Amino acid sequence: MDHRFLHTSAAFCVTLGLWALPCVGQDYTVTDLGAFPGGETAWAFGINDAGQIAASAMYNEASQFHHAALWDDGVLTDLGQLGEEDFTFRSFATAINAQGHVVGGSPVPGGFGAPLDRAFLHDGTEMILLPPLSGGRRSFAFDINDNGYVVGNSGTNEIHNNKWIIHAVLWTNRSPQDLGTLGGRYSWAYAINNSHTVVGASLLDNGPVHAFFWSDGTMTDMGTLGGASSRAWDINETGQIVGWAQDTDAARRAFLFEQDTMTDLGTLPGAKMSEAYGVNNAGQIVGMSWVPGQGPHAVLWDGGIALDLNDLVENNSPWTLQVARQINNSGQIVGYGRLEGVTRAFLLTLATCAADIDGDGDTDMDDFLTYLSMWTAGDPLADWNADGTINTQDFIAYLGDWAAGCP
């Protein structure tokens, strides 16, 4: 990608004379993860530090048939399904660990020909069924840690209002453990770290859903931001937990929970609603914020600031990045959005340092003087904002990138 297309004004932080220079902390390149033959739609939910991605993609758009997938170094591999090929036609991947093992859900034949969702683990060779709790019929896996512990939910042997009751589950060596609830009938586990702390959500005995963390056999209610409900979606290795919670106006707000305190992460300008889905070990958080009149926009919270990821990619991008689901420790982000009217999975990768013209890994006076010479001479490469004209706006844009330095 041409370096001139990777400039975004996220904030104004440097002043030189009368000029306010845009402080560009992050610029990203966007990679379309592709789709299977016969399909167009795809989603990405998990990424490990090697850049391998847990995704799902349609292979029959008309029939809405989709399969779990592994994206690795530009190749999207179909992981198949648990049931027979002519029965269910579906599977969905949610997470991937450091070993490249993928988890998710896929239906299997049930009674009277009806499919039953079952959790799976794909170990790189085959898709393995993770059994439900004793007496349960359905299960689904949401996350796997680097030790191979898997969390999700499972049906139990209890029925309420003609529905099977569901509980949060931890699979150890493929054996399910019921994590219980916060007093209500239902619970769901969404993430686990390498210390085996689990986060998710549970009904209380009086009805509302509350976020929880579970450790050493104890499930703890995390509360809300003043409203009725909350849900925890992810936890990092330092114990930071992210999710969403209702505020006093009943609006969903992304939160960070640490040291027993839940903090509202805020929204994009003009928005009232946000949700956080992923957090890396540096405390960078990703999710979405609902912008009135536009719908969901993918968000990065970095240093307490909500950044619209659509503003951190190339100018005039054909993408609308809608939901960011996960971020790894290299800062790579995965999720899904709209590309030419179709939902597609994306990978965002930090761009190379555009203002480092001589490529020595730093922005210094040599780079500044080189650009000044290019700009004065009318060199086409000096068109820094890529609008087809070389003028003072290009000079200001370059100075902003130069002042921000390299990541």
Span 355-406, pLDDT tens digits: 888 767 778 899 899 999 999 999 888 888 777 889 999 999 899 888 877 7
289 within 8 A of 305, measured Cβ to Cβ = no
How far is C-alpha 359 from the geometric centre of its chain's CA atoms?
31
- For the ranges 2-11, 83-92, 138-147, the lowest mean pLDDT is seen at 2-11
Q: Which residue is listed with tokens 């239902």?
A: 186
* pLDDT tier, 162 (very low <50, low <70, confident <90, very high otherwise): confident
Q: Of the spans 19-23, 107-111, 173-177, 205-209, which averages the highest pLDDT? A: 173-177
Q: What is each CA distance from 247 to 251, 261, 379, in whole angstroms?
A: 6, 15, 53
Here the tokens at position 165 are: 């009751």
Find residue 218's DSSP bridge partners.
215
First to last CA, the chain: 18
Can you tell me the mean pLDDT for 231-240? 99
* pLDDT confidence of residue 25: 38
Can you tell me the mean pLDDT for 237-262? 98
Find residue 344's DSSP bridge partners.
337
pLDDT at 274 over 50: yes
Going along 7-114, which residue ranges are E strands? 11-16, 19-23, 28-32, 42-47, 53-60, 65-72, 75-78, 92-96, 102-109
Percent of the chain with pLDDT over 70: 90
CA angle (298 as vertex; 229, 313 as ends), nearest 5: 165
pTM confidence score: 0.83
Span 194-226, pLDDT tens digits: 999 999 999 999 889 999 999 999 999 999 999
Domains in the chain: boundaries: 1-26+355-407, 27-350
Q: Which residue is listed with tokens 């996220």?
A: 10
Ramachandran assignment for 344, one of left (phi > 0), alpha (psi -120 to 50 degrees), beta (any other): beta
pLDDT at 22 over 60: no
351 within 8 A of 6, measured Cβ to Cβ = yes
pLDDT at 11 over 90: no
* pLDDT confidence of residue 112: 55
Span 89-99, pLDDT tens digits: 689 999 999 99
* pLDDT confidence of residue 405: 78
| Average pLDDT, rounded, for the chain | 89
* pLDDT confidence of residue 105: 95
* pLDDT tier, 84 (very low <50, low <70, confident <90, very high otherwise): low
Can you tell me the mean pLDDT for 155-163? 84
pLDDT at 289 over 60: yes
* pLDDT confidence of residue 114: 63
| Three-state DSSP string of 183-202 | EEEEEEEEEECCCCCEEEEE
Going along 86-197, which residue ranges are E strands? 92-96, 102-109, 115-122, 127-130, 139-144, 150-160, 163-172, 175-178, 183-192
The alpha carbon dihedral of 394, 398, 401, 406 has a sign of positive
- The C-alpha atoms of residue 303 and residue 313 are separated, in whole angstroms, by 19
* pLDDT confidence of residue 117: 86
Phi, psi of 123 (to 5 degrees): -90, 15
pLDDT at 61 over 80: no
Can you tell me the mean pLDDT for 262-288? 98
For residues 305-327, one letter each, b for 16 or more C-beta atoms within 10 angstroms of the residue's C-beta and e for the rest, the string is ebbbbbebbbeebebebbbbbbb
- The C-alpha atoms of residue 162 and residue 318 are separated, in whole angstroms, by 47
Span 305-347, pLDDT tens digits: 999 999 998 878 999 999 999 999 999 999 999 999 999 999 9
Here the tokens at position 121 are: 């683990």
CATH topology classification for 27-350:
Methylamine Dehydrogenase; Chain H (2.130.10)
